[in-house]
Amino acid sequence: MKKLVLAAFAVFALTFVNAQEDGSALSKGSWVVEANTGFGGGSSGLAHSANTGFGLYSVDDLTVWSVGGEAGYFVADDLAIKVGLGYNDFDGANSFTYKLGAKYYIGSEFPVQVDLTGASGDDIFGDEKPLWLGLQGGYAWFVADNISIEPGLRYNISLNEDFTDEGVFEARIGFALHF
C-alpha cells in the first residue's frame, strides 16, 4: 500500500512539475481547480440542484444553499476534461451533485464548457435521478499567471422530463487556480 501511495504521489509531482515548466496555465499536462458562484435560476429551488459551486437561493419560505468545486486536467493546450462534486441543502433535505465535462479556452481567454450534471437525494427526488446538459461561456481574466476570474453565462437543459422540463439560466463568476 505504501508503494502505491508513493507511486501516486510521484506521478502527481511529475505532472505538477511538467505543468510548471511550460509556463502556460492552459497548456497540456496542467491542472485547474475551480470554485463557482451562480446567480439566477428557475421558478423553484429545485432548479439549483445541478450546482457544484457555492450558492444561496431564497424565495418565500424556501432556502437553498450549496457548496462544491470542480477540477480538470488539460489533455491538450486550452482543453481540459473536468469533474465536479457538490452538496446542496433544500431547507433540511439534501442532495449530492456530480459533473463530468470538457472546457475549452478559445484564444486562451474565452472559456466554453459542455458538461453532464446529475443529482441524487432520496429526500428530494424520490425515485427520480435529475440529469442536465450544461452549456457555459465566458471570459477568463488572469489576475496572475496561475489565477483567473471567469465571469460567464450558463444554461442547464433538463434531460429528465419526469423530474422537470424546465431549463435553468444562470450568471456565474468562477475563481480558478491553474497548476
Instruction: Express each pLDDT in 145-156 by its tens digit.
Output: 999 999 999 998
pLDDT of residue 145: 92
Picking from 62, 74, 60, 134, the residue whose alpha carbon sits closest to that of residue 98 is 134
Mean pLDDT of the residues in the chain: 81
Phi, psi of 4 (to 5 degrees): -65, -45
Q: Is the pLDDT of residue 14 over 60?
A: no
Phi, psi of 108 (to 5 degrees): 60, 20
User: Which three cell numbers mark 97?
Assistant: 451533485
Domains of the chain: 2-178 (2.40.160.20)
b/e for 33-47, b at 16 or more Cβ within 10 A? ebbbbbebbbebbbb
DSSP 29: T
Residue written as cell 433535505?
Answer: 93
pLDDT tens figures, 19-60: 444 458 999 999 999 999 876 655 444 444 567 888 887 888
**Highest mean predicted confidence (pLDDT) among 7-16, 67-76, 88-97, 168-177:** 67-76
Picking from 75, 32, 47, the residue whose alpha carbon sits closest to that of residue 176 is 32
- 3-class SS of residue 129: coil
pLDDT tens figures, 114-142: 999 988 876 666 667 788 899 999 999 99
Task: Measure the CA–CA gap between 173 and 51, rounded to whole angstroms.
Answer: 13
Task: Measure the CA–CA gap between 174 and 172, rounded to whole angstroms.
Answer: 6
